[in-house]
Chain A
Amino acid sequence: MSDSPVTAGSVTTMEHEAHNPALLHHFSDAQQQKNAASLGMWLFLVTEIMFFGGMFCAYLVYRVAHFNSFAAASQQLSIGMGAFNTAVLIVSSVTVVLAVKAAEAGKRKLLVGYLVVTVLLGMTFLVVKGFEYREKFERHHVPGPTFKFTDTFDDNGKQIPVNPKEAELFFSLYFAMTGMHALHMIIGCGLFSVLAIFAWKGHYSPGYFTPIENAGLYWHLVDIIWIYLFPLLYLISRHS
C-alpha cells in the first residue's frame, strides 16, 4: 500500500545527514519525500481503478446483453441494507478527512479517535455485507449447482421475463465485485488499525503525517467504488 516511511531506522548502513528521523536517506528533503509518496499513492489508485475496471467492463457488457434478467435479479437485492451501507461508508470518509485534519493540527488523541471510528464504521459495513451474503445463501442466489431463480415479478407485481442463467450471471458479477470490494475494505480496516497504533505511539506530527493522508486516499477510493457499485447493482430499473 502506501510506502509509509515510519521505520527509517531499519535502513541499514546508511548515514543520516538530516535531523528529521522520518526522512529517508535517498531523498534530498522532506518535501521531496512527501511529494514522492503522494504521487506513488495516486499511481497505485490508478492501478486499482484499472483492476476494478475489468469487472465494470464485464458488468456493462452483460447488462446491455441481458438487461431484463439483470433488472429482475437486481430487484432481489436488499435496497435497505445497501443504502445503509452506502451511508456508513460516506460517514467513514468524513471521519477519515477529520483524522487527516487532526493529524495536521497535531492533535494525537483526536487523530486516534477518528481512526478508530473509521475502523468501526468499516467493520459495520462488513457485518451488514455478511448478513446480505447469508440471505443470498438461504435463497439459493449463490451461483453454482444449487442456484435457483424463480422470482420473476418486480415489486409492483409486474412479470419480468427472466432467463435463470442470465440471473446467475448477475449474481456471479455481484459476488465478484462486492467480494473484491469487501476484500479492499478488510485491507483498509487493517491499515487504519495499524496507523491508529502508530498514531497512539506518536509517530506522526504536523510536519509528518503522509501515511495518514495516503491511507485516507485509499479509503476514499474504496468508498467511491462502492458509490458506483450501489446504483449499478441495487438500483437497476427501480424507478416506476
Chain B
Amino acid sequence: MASTAVTANQAPKLNYLNNGHSLKSWLLTTDHKRIAILYLISVTTFFFLGGFFAMLIRLELLTPQGDLMQADTYNKVFTMHGMIMVFFFLIPVVPAVLGNFLVPLMIGAKDLAFPRINLLSWYLYVVGGLLISHVMLTGGVDTGWTFYSPFSTEYTNTKIVEAGLAAFVAGFSSIFTGLNFIVTIHRMRAPGLTWNRLPLFIWANYATSIIMILGTPVVAITIILVAVERLFHLGIFDPRLGGDPLLFQHLFWFYSHPAVYIMILPSMGVISELITCFSRKRVFGYNFIALSSIAIAVIGFLVWAHHMFVAGISLYAAMIFSFLTFFVGVPSAVKVFNWTATLYKGSITYATPMLYAFGFMGLFTIGGLTGLFLATLGIDVHVTDTYFVVAHFHYVMVGGVLMGYLGGMHFWWPKISGRMYPEGWAKLSALLVFVGFNLTFFPQFILGYVGMPRRYWQYPPEFQVLNVLSTAGSSVLAMGYLLPMIYFLWSLKYGPIAEANPWHAAGLEWKTTSPPPTFNFDETPVVTWEAYNYDEIPDKELEAPVVR
C-alpha cells in the first residue's frame, strides 16, 4: 500500500488514483477504474490520430484540384481515417472508458466480473493499435475501411492482411468488454437493485454488449476469410473461383451496421443520465427507454443490407430491408421523444453536460432523419456513395457519439479525477463543437444531394464554396475537441476539489467519494429506491446543481 499523505482539506482517503503510483501498478492493474483511465489515454491518442487524417482530407478538398495529394495517397488517408476512427475510437470510446469506469459503480459492485479479462481487453486494444500504426507507417491501406472484395482480396497490393489483423484483434478486445459487461450486469448487482431500478446507462451498455458478442465474431471470421483468400488463394469471395463478392458485403455489414449501434447506444445511455439530472425529474417513460435500447440491438441486426441497395440484391430483399430500416427508427425516436418529455416542466440547468445533451438531441435527430431518406429505395439510389451518406453517418456517429461522450466526460469528470473542470471554458467548447460540427457536415448534405461522390480527391469547381465551408467548420470543430483535452489536463492540478456529488445527482456512483476508493464502496449498498428518484431527494439537495 502507498503511504497516505494527508493534507488538511485534501481527499483524506486512499482512492483508486493514489493507491500505488508505479508504472507497474497501472499496467498490471485489474481495477476497472484504472483500466478505464488506460483506455481514456489510448482512445484519445487514436482520436487525435484519426482527426489528423480527417484534417488532411479536409485540406485536400479545400480546392478542386489534387494539390496536397494525389489519388493513391488520398485513398490511403481516408482509409486510415475510417479504420482508426471506427475500430479504435468510436467502438470502444464510451463502453471502454465511461462504461468501464461506471458500470460497476452504478450497480454497486466492487469490480467487473472478470477483472483480468478486462485488462486483457485493453492489451488487445493496444496490440491492435500497434498493428494499425505499423500499417500506417509502412504504406497504409487503400480499400476504405470496408475492405470490399474483390478489390481487397485480389487487386490492391497494400497491407490488407495486417490491417485486417489489427481490426480482428481490436474486435476481440470489444468482445471481451461486452462479455464482461453482460456477466457483471447479470451477476454482480447490489442487493435490491432489480432490473427495473437499473440506471438507463446500464441498460444501454447491456444492449451494446449483446451486439458486441453477437456481431463482432462474424466480422472476425470475415476478415480471416479475406486474409486466407489473399494468402492462400482460397476462392471464397472471388467470382472467378465461383465465389460471390456480395457475400463479403453481407457478412461485413452484418457486423458493421450493428456496430453503429455499438457506438450510439452507450452515448444514448449517457444522455438519459444527463437529461434527468439537469431537469431534476425522474425520466419520462423509463421502461420505454430501457426496452428501446434492447429493441435497437435486436432490430439493428436485421437492417444490414440497406448498405447494398445498389449492389445487386433482389428487389424484394431490398424492400424488406428498407421497411426494417424504417422500423429501427422507431425505438430511436421513442428515446428522443421521452427525453423531450422529461424536459417538460423540469427545472433545467444549463451546465456543460446538459449543453452537450442538447447538442446530441439536435445532431442525432438530423442524423437519424436523414437515415430515413437513405432507407427510402428511390432516394438511396440517387445519393448512394455521395457526400449525403458521409454527412448522414457523421451526424450519427460523430455528432451523436462524441456529444454523448463529451457530455458524459464533463458530467463524470469530478468522479473520475476528483476535480472540477472550468465551467466557462467548457461551455465555450460545447458551443465550438456544435457550431463547428454543423458547419463541417451540413454543407456535405447539399454537396451529396447535388451529386458530389465520396472518396474522390478532386471535384468540379462548382462544389468549391460548400467544400470551403466544410473545411472551415472542421477547423472550428478541431478547436472544440482540443479545448476539453487541455482544460481537463489543467484541472487535474488546478481544478477545484470536487465533492462526492457535485451535481446532486441520483445514482449509486455519486454515493461514494470522488474519486472512489479501489473497491468502490466501503459497504455494499442496498438499493430500496427507483432510478432517478429526484422527487425523493431531501429539500436542500433539490435545488438545481451549482453552476460556477
Contact = CB atoms under 8 A, between A and B. Distances in A.
Given A47-B216, A176-B228, A169 B113 contact: no
Nearest to A54: B221
Interface in B214-265: 214-218, 220-222, 224-225, 228-229, 232-236, 240-244, 247, 250-251
A175 interface: yes
B192 to A, nearest CB: 14
Nearest to A40: B183
Interface stretch (B61-69, B114-122, B317-325, B350-358): B114-122
Given A26-B115, A54-B225, A143-B232, A13 B242 contact: no
B468 to A, nearest CB: 44
Most A CB contacts (10 A, CB to CB) among B117, B183, B213 go to B183
A30 to B, nearest CB: 13
B114 A3 contact: yes
Most A CB contacts (10 A, CB to CB) among B111, B215, B241, B519 go to B241
B179 A172 contact: no
Given A47-B216, A54-B218, A58-B251, A172 B234 contact: yes
Interface in A8-61: 11-13, 24-28, 32, 35-36, 39-40, 43-44, 46-48, 50-55, 57-58, 61
Nearest to B31: A13
A202 to B, nearest CB: 23
Contact of A61 (B20, B222, B244): B244
Nearest to A31: B187
A46 B188 contact: no
B251 A169 contact: no
A43 B213 contact: yes
Contact of A165 (B188, B215, B240, B244): B240
Nearest to A43: B179
Contacts of A46: 213-214
Contacts of A53: 217-218, 221
A166 interface: yes
Contact of B518 (A13, A145, A172, A180): A13
Contact of A3 (B1, B116, B220, B241): B116
Most A CB contacts (10 A, CB to CB) among B28, B188, B232, B235 go to B235
Nearest to B112: A26
Interface in B114-138: 114-117
B109 interface: yes
Contacts of A144: 232-234
Contacts of B328: none
Interface string B150-185: 000000000000000000000000010001101110
Given A13-B20, A168-B241, A173-B236, A39 B524 contact: no
B44 interface: no
Interface residues of A, number: 45
A67 interface: no
Most A CB contacts (10 A, CB to CB) among B1, B115, B216 go to B115
B349 interface: no
A28 B218 CA distance: 35
A26 B109 contact: yes
Contact of B242 (A25, A57, A165): A165
A163 B240 CA distance: 12
A57 B183 contact: no
Q: How large is the interface on B (under 10, 10 to 19, 20 to 34, 35 or more residues)?
A: 35 or more
Contacts of B213: 43, 46-47, 50
A165 B242 CA distance: 6
B19 interface: yes
Given A39-B186, A169-B242, A44 B220 contact: no
Contacts of A40: 113-114, 117, 179-180, 183
Contacts of B282: none
A177 B243 CA distance: 16
A50 B175 CA distance: 12
Nearest to B28: A12
The main secondary structure of chain B at its interface with chain A is helix
A169 B179 contact: no
Nearest to B111: A26
B110 interface: yes
B30 interface: yes
Contacts of B215: 50
Nearest to A66: B242
A62 interface: yes
Interface in B466-488: none
Contacts of A52: 221
Interface in A162-195: 163, 165-166, 168-169, 172-173, 175-176, 180
Contact of A58 (B214, B225, B232): B225
B98 to A, nearest CB: 20
Nearest to A4: B116
A55 B183 contact: no
A228 to B, nearest CB: 15
A61 B113 CA distance: 39
A119 B180 CA distance: 29
Given A28-B524, A52-B221, A35 B236 contact: no
Nearest to B14: A13
Contacts of A39: 182-183, 186-187
Nearest to A169: B242
Interface of B: 1, 19-20, 28, 30, 109-117, 175, 179-180, 182-184, 186-188, 213-218, 220-222, 224-225, 228-229, 232-236, 240-244, 247, 250-251, 518-519, 524
| 10 interchain residue pairs of minimum CB distance | A172-B234, A51-B217, A54-B221, A26-B111, A26-B110, A50-B217, A169-B242, A166-B242, A36-B113, A36-B187
19 contacts: A3-B113, A11-B30, A26-B115, A39-B183, A40-B114, A44-B179, A48-B217, A50-B213, A50-B217, A55-B225, A61-B244, A61-B247, A62-B243, A66-B242, A144-B234, A165-B235, A166-B242, A168-B235, A175-B234
Given A13-B1, A32-B188, 19 more contacts: A26-B112, A26-B115, A39-B186, A39-B187, A40-B183, A46-B214, A51-B221, A52-B221, A58-B225, A62-B243, A65-B242, A65-B244, A143-B232, A165-B242, A169-B235, A172-B229, A172-B235, A172-B243, A176-B228
Interface of A: 3, 11-13, 24-28, 32, 35-36, 39-40, 43-44, 46-48, 50-55, 57-58, 61-62, 65-66, 69, 143-145, 163, 165-166, 168-169, 172-173, 175-176, 180
